Chains A and B, each alone.
Chain A
Amino acid sequence: MATDARKKEILKGLYDAVVDFDEDKVVELSNAVLAEDVDAYEAIMDGLAAGMEHVGDLYANQEYFVPEVLMCSDALYAGLDILRPHLSGKEADVKGQVVIGTVEGDVHDIGKNLVKMMFDVAGFEVHDLGRDVKLEKFVEEQMKTDSEIVALSALMTTSMLAMPKVIEMIKARNPDAMIMVGGAPISQEVADNYGADGYAPNAANAVQEAIQMISRLREMGKA
C-alpha cells in the first residue's frame, strides 16, 4: 500500500508523463499503481485525465499543436489500457454512452478522435463509427445501443450540411437522444440553427457538454 506521499508522487508523475508525452513513463507508473495498490480510478482521473486536461489548455494557448496532442493521447491510452481493467464497483460503471463519428463526405478524423479520447477517459462507453459515416448508420447505432449522446464531427463546409439532416433523422426515431456537434466550421450559432442540443469548441469542452446534456436528460427522467 503506497503512502500518501508516494501516491501523490505517482499521480503527479502520471500527470507529467501525459503532458510530456512520455509513454514509457506512463506505462512504468501505471504498473506502479497496480503494484503499490493505488486506486486505479484515482490514477486515471487525477493523473492521466488531469494531465490531458492541461494538454487541452496548452493546445488552446498555442503552446501545443496537433503532433504534441496526438503523442499525449498515445501516452494516455497506454495508461488507460493498463488501469481500466482494474476499475471495480461503481467506478467501473459507465457514465453514459456516446455514438461518435465524422459525417458522410468527410474523411477528417483527428478532432473526432481527440473527442473520443476525452469520452474514453471520462468513463463513457464510446461507439466509434469512424469517418465518412453514412447518415443512416448514426441512427441505427443510436437505436441499437440506446446511447444518450450522438456526437457528430465535420471539417468541411460541404459535409457540415449533413448535420441538420442527420439530427432530424435521429430525432425522428428517438426524440430523447441528445446530439452534439463540433468541427472547424461549426460555431454555437451554426449548432443552434442545426437543432443540435450541444456544441463544443474543443475536445475537453465536449465531455463537459456531454455530462451536462446527460444531467438534463436525467432531470427529465429520461435516462
Chain B
Amino acid sequence: MDRVGGICKDKMAPHERVGALMMGQTPDRVPFNPFAMGFSSLNCGYTIESFYNDPQKSLNAQLWTAEQYGYEPVLLLGYAAYGGWEFGGEIKMPTSEWEGAPSVARHPVETEEDVEKLELPDVKTAGIIPISMEFSKLCDEMGLPILPGTSGDAITVASNITDVSLFCRWLMKKPELAHRLLRLATDHILEAYQYWVDTFGAQKIMAGLYVTVAANQILSPKQFEEFVLPYQYELHEKILGMGVQAGFMHICGEQNLNLPLIQQLPLGSPQQPVILSFGHEVDLEKAAEMFPDNIIAGNVEPQIIQNGTPEQVYEVTRIAIEKGKKAPGGFFLMPGCELPPMAPGYNIHTMMKAVNDFGFYD
C-alpha cells in the first residue's frame, strides 16, 4: 500500500486494519477515525443539515472525506438529541451558521401528566429512523458494516424526551417519573435494534452504545448506579445477545467516577469486540488499565482540533497515540467526541501526520 507522495506509509488497507484490530491482531498502524459528522458534509460542499436528512449525501460525504484524509471510515447517520422527535416532539435541523447538529425544538413531555400519557412510538416511522434505515440500506449495498442510527443510551433519550433540567429535578423529587421515561426509552431502543436485526441480520450490525448525559459534569456516580446502570445493562445484554458482530460504546465527557460502574456492564468478548471510546477527560492509560479486554478509542480534545494550532494538535495527538498504543486490547485513535464541524481541515491532516509519525507498530 506504499504510495508515492503524501505522507502515507500504510501496509494495510483501512478495512484490513480495522479487521485486524477487531480480531485481536496487531494492525500495521493505529487506525484513525475523527468522528466526522457535520464536518464531512461541509468538507464535501454540502450543508450540515444534509448529513442528517439526505442519506445518500451523508454516505458520500463520510466516504469521500475518509478517502481524502486517509482515515478509517466508521459510518453513522444518528444524533445526540435522539428521543425528542422520535417520541412525538419536534426537531430543529441545523440550518444556521452556528448550529452543528439537530436539537430538540419541542419536547414531547413537558408536564408530569405527559409522562403518564406517553407511549412507545412506531419504530418504523419514528423521527429519524426512516432516514437512518435508508442510510443503513446504502451501507449494506456497499457491503459496509451497519451502525444503526437509533440511540443506545437510555438516560440521554429520556432526557431528550423532556427538558434535561426538568429530568434532573425528577431524579431527585419524582424518581418514579424518571424511571418511567427510562423504561420507555429502553424498550424503544430494543425495538429499534430488533428492527435493524430483522432487516439486515445481526451479523452485519455494529451496535452503537453510548452514555452521554450520565457524565459527571451532570450526574453523580450514585445517580448513575440508580438511573443508568440497570437500563444500560439491559441494553448491552439484550443487544449483544441479538448476536450483533461488534459494538462501539462512546463514554462521553467526564466519566472518571463512573468507570467502576461501567466495568459492570456487559462489554463484549474476543468474538464480539466492543470498542470503548473516551472523552479527553479520561486518561487513556487509566482506561486501558481498567478495560484491558476492550479496544480503547479516543481521546483528542475536540476544542483543540477546532481552535488549536497545527503544532498543538500534532502534540496532543502524539500523546494520545503513545498512550493508546500500550492498550492491551488494542487502540483506535479518535477525538474525545464528535469532530467540530467547523474544525479546519489542516488539523485533520495534522492528526493523520501524527498517526504516520507515531502510530506504526514495530
Contact = CB atoms under 8 A, between A and B. Distances in A.
Interface of A: 21, 62, 64-68, 70-71, 74, 103-107, 109-110, 113, 132, 156-162, 184-185, 187, 190, 193
A158 B96 CA distance: 10
A190 B301 CA distance: 14
B169 A103 contact: no
Interface stretch (B148-156, B213-221, B236-244, B265-273): B213-221
B220 A107 contact: no
Contact of A68 (B98, B164, B172, B257): B172
Contacts of B168: 66-67, 70, 110
A105 B98 contact: yes
Contact of A157 (B100, B103, B219): B100
A66 B341 CA distance: 28
Nearest to B48: A158
Contact of B218 (A66, A103, A132, A187): A66
B99 interface: yes
A54 to B, nearest CB: 17
24 contacts: A21-B172, A62-B257, A64-B220, A65-B220, A65-B223, A66-B168, A67-B169, A67-B219, A68-B220, A70-B165, A71-B169, A104-B96, A104-B98, A105-B96, A109-B165, A156-B101, A157-B100, A157-B306, A158-B342, A159-B99, A160-B303, A161-B98, A162-B98, A185-B303
Contacts of A68: 172, 220
Contacts of A162: 97-98
A157 B223 contact: no
Interface of B: 38, 94, 96-101, 103-104, 164-165, 168-169, 171-173, 216-220, 223, 257, 302-303, 306-307, 340-343
B213 to A, nearest CB: 9
B307 A193 contact: yes
Contacts of B97: 104-105, 162
Contacts of B171: 67
A156 B100 contact: yes
Given A70-B168, A110-B165, A190 B303 contact: yes
B282 to A, nearest CB: 14
A156 B99 CA distance: 9
A110 B169 CA distance: 12
A56 to B, nearest CB: 14
B172 A67 contact: yes
A109 B103 CA distance: 13
A104 B100 CA distance: 11
A109 to B, nearest CB: 8
Contact of A107 (B103, B173, B257, B302): B103
Nearest to A187: B303
A185 B280 CA distance: 12
Nearest to A158: B100
Given A62-B216, A158-B94, A184-B217, 15 more contacts: A21-B172, A65-B216, A67-B169, A67-B218, A71-B169, A71-B172, A105-B94, A105-B97, A105-B100, A107-B104, A109-B165, A157-B342, A158-B98, A158-B99, A161-B342
Closest 6 CB pairs of A and B: A105-B98, A158-B100, A157-B340, A67-B168, A105-B99, A65-B220
A66 B343 CA distance: 30
B243 to A, nearest CB: 36
A137 to B, nearest CB: 13
Residue among A64, A113, A184 with most chain B CB within 10 A: A184
Contact of B341 (A74, A158, A184, A185): A158
A65 B100 contact: no
A155 B223 CA distance: 23
Contacts of A106: 98
B306 to A, nearest CB: 5
Residue among A64, A113, A156, A162 with most chain B CB within 10 A: A156
A193 B100 CA distance: 21
Contacts of B303: 157, 160, 185, 187, 190
B307 A66 contact: no
